[in-house]
Amino acid sequence: MTSSDGLRRALLTYGLLWGLGLYLRLTVLVVPPLIPQLKAVLGFSGGEVAIATSLPLVTLALGGLAAGWLLARLGVRSCMLGGLAVMAIGSGLRSLPEGFLPFMLATLLMGGGIALMQAAMPMLAKLWAPERIGRASAVYTNGLLVGELLAAGATGPLVAAWLGAQWQWAFALWVAPVPLLMLALVVGGRRLPALAAGSRAAGLTLPDRHDGRMWGLAALLGAAAALYFTGNVFLPPLLEESERLSLLAPSLTALNGAQMLSSALLIFCADRLMGRAAPLIGITALALLALPLMLWLPGGAVVWAAGVFGFFTSALFIFVLALPAWLVRLEALPRLMAGMLFFGYLLVFAITVVGGWLSDLSGSVALAFLPTLLICLVAMAGTPRLLAVRPQEA
């Protein structure tokens, strides 16, 4: 293979991974900018809006179980194409003005598609970039973050400029390019290493509760996602409590902008850090230490603290997504990913709910971060053992 062939193959590999990563969260984050319309036009209550926003998180957990079985039975290509199609159909159906229950059913469908995609991404990274799993994971996570920023930042202006009273069609408009992405996966995938085929003999295999690696990865996923969700959910009331609500927009911009910077940097250095416990523990600790900085730094310093928090939270999330493909052989990935996603995202949901309950009960926003602190400490303690044994065939 010539250098030009290698470059074209690398561009194709990382371009496809980035495009697929774009849709891992984009359709989820379309909801927050449309909350005023959901309340005013469709009559959603505050509780119904909260359910609409957080329901995909539960779907990711439950869908992770089925995703592991489908990956083993149908193969990676079929699962990714099916996940893209189901995600796009579910998001498009949310454009129909039928009320809360149909909206929730469409959201569940969309979340199921995303769960299938999420479980397939580490297998694509291992198949297409076996020597650069860290870089491949950083690339598709960068796409994920860009998707979040596009949905959160561009949906409002898009509705104002183009859709107006037809604002609900934003849910369908964002997924209009998905057929082109599916075509690119089919055509471009022929020039890349063959995707693993499924086996019709594969049965529904539940996660192995005796697998310590699964529990270690679930704890790390819980820590990374809990840091992200609690940081975003409780930063507004934190600033309101300290009478600095005017700093909310720059703080959220710093938090999300630093995530982009982190993912871009790790494209170049993630593989050098893979498998080493000290950097992973250090990244988790620095993300955790940024929380008290946001809580207690005076004045505008909270903006800088939010940037530090976003930088290290994003780095932790990238390593968590990369580790399963680094740890085990390809055949073992579906079962490991199923357990990691199921228990990890259920853990995040519980942490977020308990954090909100503690905040309401005590009247202090600071206590909302206590469950996140605990899961981060558990994840850090288990990291050396998680990375200690890696089979040669992985």
Neighbours of 351 (CB within 10 A): 24
Whole-number pLDDT of residue 209: 84
Per-residue pLDDT tens for 218-241? 999 999 988 887 777 777 777 777
Determine the Cα–Cα distance for residues 365 and 90; give it in Å rounded to an integer.
35
| pLDDT at residue number 54 | 67
* 57/265: higher pLDDT: 265
Encoding tokens for residue 113? 């598609």
pLDDT-derived band at 319, boundaries 50, 70, 90? very high
Contact in structure between 371 and 358 (CB atoms under 8 Å): yes
Q: Quick one: what percent of the chain has pLDDT higher than 90?
A: 35
Which pLDDT belongs to residue 247?
82
Listed ranges 92-106, 131-145, 347-361; the one with the highest mean pLDDT: 131-145
CA 125/CA 139 separation, integer angstroms:
10
CA dist 252 → 112, 149, 170 (Å) = 28, 11, 23
pLDDT of residue 365: 75
Coil, strand or helix at 330: helix
d(CA 353, CA 212): 26
Q: Taking 70 as the threshold, does the pLDDT of residue 35 lie above it?
A: yes
Percent of the chain with pLDDT over 70: 92
Buried b (16+ CB within 10 A) or exposed e, 210-246: ebebbbbbbbbbbbbbbbbbbbbbbbeebbebeebee
pLDDT in tens, 2-25: 667 778 888 999 999 999 999 998
171-221, pLDDT tens digit by residue? 999 999 999 999 999 988 777 765 555 544 445 567 888 888 999 999 999
pTM, entire model: 0.86
| Closest among 378, 329, 333, 390 to 220, alpha carbons compared | 378
pLDDT tier, 49 (very low <50, low <70, confident <90, very high otherwise): low
CA distance 185 to 192: 10
Helix axes 301-327, 212-241, angle to 10 degrees: 170
Reported as type and span, the H/E element at residue 220 is helix 212-241
d(CA 223, CA 231): 12
Q: How confident is the model at residue 369 (pLDDT cuts 50, 70, 90)?
A: confident
pLDDT computed for residue 216 by the predictor = 94
Q: What is the pLDDT of residue 363?
A: 80
Residue 114 pLDDT = 92
Alpha carbon 179 to chain centroid, angstroms: 22
Residue 99 has pLDDT above 70, yes or no: yes
Backbone angles phi, psi at 197, to 5 degrees: -85, 155
Domains, the chain, ordered by start? 9-195 (1.20.1250.20), 205-394 (1.20.1250.20)
Residues 279-318 have pLDDT tens digits of 999 999 999 998 888 878 877 888 899 899 999 999 999 9
Predicted confidence band of residue 97 (pLDDT cuts 50, 70, 90): confident
